[in-house]
Structure 1
Amino acid sequence: MKVIDGGITAAQGFEAASTAAGIKYQGRTDMAMVYSKVPCVSAGTFTTNVVKAACVQWDMKIVKSDKPVQAVVINSGIANACTGQEGFNACEATARGVQEVLGVPYDTVAVASTGVIGMQLPVDKLVAGVKAMAPKLDGSVNAGTEASKAIMTTDTVNKEIAVSFEIDGVEVKLGGMSKGSGMIHPNMCTMLAFLGTDLDIEKELLQEAVSDVVADSFNMITVDGDTSTNDTLICMANGLAGNKKITSKDESYEAFKEALSYVCTSLAKTMAADGEGASKLFEATIVNAKSKEDAKTLARAIVGSNLSKAAIFGCDANFGRFLCAMGYSGADFDQNDVELFFKSTNGELKVFDKGTPIVFDEEEALKIMKADAVTVFVDMHEGDAEATAWGCDLTYDYVKINADYRS
């Protein structure tokens, strides 16, 4: 497997376009379209929030059916959540607009929205945006990059990645883009993500691979403890690579899953590092835990703690905050087995050793924690399971951004 240029348009047959539709933002692109030249099998994961946006419900119905997916239309600025029947009407109008200009059945068109909850979408602008994007659809790297920029809200950087890998001597490509900066917390985390591959694979196996990978990537990031109404990940596979169709969990399936894991983990880490107001990536790695579930629980508790996040922001090696978060996480462990370290590109420092604090050099700790990415590394000494979670520090700017989000 190797990382290649581009994102959502990297795989054969995928095109993208973007436009400034004026949904909410002015002076910037705010709509994107992803299109496959041939119908795709699809898989998806969606928010576990009981309050689901109209677009989430629309997409869940399509992905869970036997229908293919051939296009996705995304808008930023307004979330189309808590919008009643009018919200569903907006989804259908958008999809029918795609049917009119591209000739694909409207019920093979997924839609996604991100932005303010409780506002109605201007349907006329949505449909006009679709019509403006259709003639601009392009398979270039730039078209994919511009699409990834159009779906941003409070994100400060666009998020895209692509890889290539071989299956039985055939080159296969997988590319993706995502957005997410605030209201991010597992299950699924607040985000939109769209993946396109030219792999030929059965729908059921695609869904299983996506669900497994999301559990260890997007579901292991947190910014602020809020799970969104709009979380959506859709993976489309159009089969144009020409590989022998994957119909079982063989070596080809594992090769695809490895590539999928790399793409999703990379996008997830970029989202965590770009958390609203964040100044650094905050990572927690748990090793030698009793079980995988315990390891996940402990790692997520550490990066999800506001006190831990504040300590990371202040470059304060106050290890008690991280141990405290572990203690209330719900995982059962003996603190007298635990070793805790701080790690970064600037060094590594043990600060807690099996129930006993270690006298450490505060200047060395400060140097380590001033890096752009800081890891709290914990050895549980109770088993062989491990997990990593990602978050960000908690800064003054987080409050500023969210205090006036609607304006």
Structure 2
Amino acid sequence: MFHSYDVIIIGAGAAGLMCAIQAGKRGRRVWLIDHMAKIAEKIRISGGGRCNFTNIHAHPQCYLSQNPHFCRSALKQYTAQDFIALVRRHGIAFHEKKLGQLFCDDSAKQIINMLLTEAREAGVKLEIPTRVLDIETIQAGYQVKTSKGDHTCASLVIATGGLSIPKIGASNFGYETAKKFGLNVIRPRAGLVPLTFDGALLERCKMLSGLSVEAEVCYKKQVFAEGLLFTHRGLSGPSILQISSYWQEGEQIIVNLAPATDIFRFLKEKKQSQPKLHVSNALSEILPRRLAQSICDEQTCNGTLGSLSDSKLAVLARAVNDWYIKPTGTEGYRTAEVTVGGVDTQELSSQTMEAKKRPGLFFIGEVVDVTGHLGGFNFQWAWSSGYAAGLVV
């Protein structure tokens, strides 16, 4: 079986679906394929099954890339408000959880169904599961050899995502395709992922597993102030996931477990007013009791406030407000929400996502070296980059 299409899109996730919709609306003959029998699984599982589909504060400063300005054009072409308007047109109820994060009131499946409806109305041919066996350049564009036959197209779009969450079909297909056609790939690594530790610190984390606090986490110039969660492997929670996208192996991070309180000043004032109060009880007024006791034990700082020197209280305070720790690694792609790195943005047009030295070849979504912060930013990049490509393929 052989067909000639205007556009073949490999990868039927968020970016691929958006690109197919826009190309189909322009009257282009679009073949959308995916190697999985179930498509858009990242949409389905995101936000606890309610899909954090965008963030109203999406702007370039919320994205990590070797070229931080690259995402600007696509985000301007298709904004969070544009996607919100689409959601509203389909009658999907949603709410803002916090910090501009928008979720479906009901189910992430509503977003998937909305996109499939739009694609069907735009005349997109979706065929799954379809495995790609090889891609070759031809005079008219590209020939894609698949498990459903060999087909040709003028425009080929790679929307196969990154390496995060392999159980739902993540693969290195997009990176290998980029390399095949001579494009540079920034080394991929797990992003928005829990950090792991070993030794005594791991044992402390295990003892405190399940305990959470509002914390401020810092790595070099990046600071995130959100929830932190102790786990049996190390540290997680929004603040840790955010910093993980920036953290480099072998480096330290700084955690402030009580960002709203100068702990040294607090303890000194308590020492003046309640000298017989046990230091762990004083600290428990700011931190969860188990955490307070753990810090006191770790710093061998127990007893009444009146029995402890100011220098000892200062050491204890630093363990709360300036906790320097060195992760041994991350939990990896198994639990990572995104992949940092990918197809080098220097290889692509920021307006269209087309490869500069390979006319008709496009890369969109997570496969590109653009990674958003936690909270709907990565879905917005998928919508925006897919839309930008869909206007020209």
TM-score range, shorter chain: under 0.3
Computing the radius of gyration from Cα coordinates, the structure with the larger value is 2
The TM-score, its normalising length taken from structure 2, stands at 0.24
The TM-score, its normalising length taken from structure 1, stands at 0.23
Structure with larger RCO (C-alpha < 8 A, sep 6+): 2
